Amino acid sequence: MKLMSTILAIAVLAFAVPAAATHWEDFAGVGDCAGWHMDGLIKVASSLDEVMVAYTVTLSQAGAVLDEQSGELTVPSTNPAATPFSGGAPWAVEPCGAVVVTGIFTILDPNAADPERRFESAFLCDCGGGDACHYTPGYWKNHEEVWPVTELTLGGVSYDQTALLWILRMPVRGDATIITAHHLIAAKLNVLNGADDGIQGRIDEADDLLAIYPLFSRPGNPGKRDLLSVKDALADYNEMGCGGLDFADKAMNEDVNFGDLKSRYR
């Protein structure tokens, strides 16, 4: 009986130690066009007077880092209660267009239980009446979370975001309707995202052609020639980038795949 009591006491102690370790009790983080903010609640181990929380918050656009902020926050012990704390800062730049914020917060206590928390926010920022960034089909295909809408009409047919992503992922294989649809989707999203709408005439032309030559119809000439002509105009628009980047610069700074490069020079 004494041996059993000893075993039970050891078992209780083993389970009690993790509960006494420093740990998160609540966490929330968010980013917007002005900056980032987080609120946390940490239970500091009774043996400590305080803990430090290291953070790195990154603002990025099309895979390029616009701003990165790192530091440490002090969380004092308020035992037996958990300690509430918060942090945040404005951006050092003025984001424009589709951007993503990621935050990583880590308790700097080697004995902490599950010490890391993360958040990610994707959103669109107004460009103050200027021309927003122009993004390629490859970008929109890989960043569905920042689409300004979730439904578009191509050639008079409405498609939801799932169908549009499926179209964007379709291999071209010589079908002019598919490559035209890729750039038509991107052009429409760019305009809706705040880019210059001077391309609207060619967007309307592409819609008219896809109404005559439906998606996946693989037309011959003159339909193929007409579709590729309007596709080239849409591609030039979609590949203008941000702040005057040319296509070579853009290929270095965003999600441009080999298919996009080939279509540029086809």
Assess whether pLDDT exceeds 90 at residue 146. Answer: no
Question: Quick one: average pLDDT of 247-251?
Answer: 37
Assess whether pLDDT exceeds 50 at residue 30. Answer: yes
> Model confidence over 205-219: pLDDT tens digits?
999 999 999 999 999
One-letter amino acid at 43 equals: K
Nearest to 75 by CA among 114, 42, 45: 42
Nearest to 209 by CA among 238, 237, 229, 189: 229
DSSP string, the chain: -HHHHHHHHHHHHHHHHHHHS-EEEEEEEEE-SSEEEEEEEEE--TT-SEEEEEEEEEEEETTEEEEEEEEEEEEE-BTTBPEEEEEEEE-SS---EEEEEEEEEEE--TT-BS-EEEEEEEEEE--TTSPPPB--HHHHHH-GGG-S-SEEEETTEEEEHHHHHHHHTS--TT-HHHHHHHHHHHHHHHHHTT--GGGHHHHHHHHHHHHHS-TT----TTHHHHHHHHHHHHHHHHT-BSTT--HHHHHHHS---HHHHHHHH-
pLDDT of residue 98: 77
Q: How far apart are the first and last CA of the chain?
A: 84
Domains present along the chain, CATH in parentheses: 23-125 (2.60.40.10), 137-265 (no CATH)
The burial of 54, by beta-carbon neighbours within 10 Å (0-12 exposed, 13-18 middle, 19 or more buried), is given as middle
Cβ–Cβ < 8 Å for 191, 149: no
pLDDT of residue 47: 92
Confidence of residue 196 (pLDDT cuts 50, 70, 90): confident
Radius of gyration, CA atoms only, the chain: 26
d(CA 99, CA 4): 60
Confidence of residue 116 (pLDDT cuts 50, 70, 90): very high
Higher pLDDT, 123 or 104: 104
Assess whether pLDDT exceeds 70 at residue 2. Answer: no
- pTM of full prediction above 0.75: no
**Please, what is the average pLDDT of the chain?**
83
Assess whether pLDDT exceeds 50 at residue 5. Answer: no
pLDDT of residue 243: 55
pLDDT of residue 247: 36
> Model confidence over 39-56: pLDDT tens digits?
999 999 999 999 999 999
Confidence of residue 178 (pLDDT cuts 50, 70, 90): very high
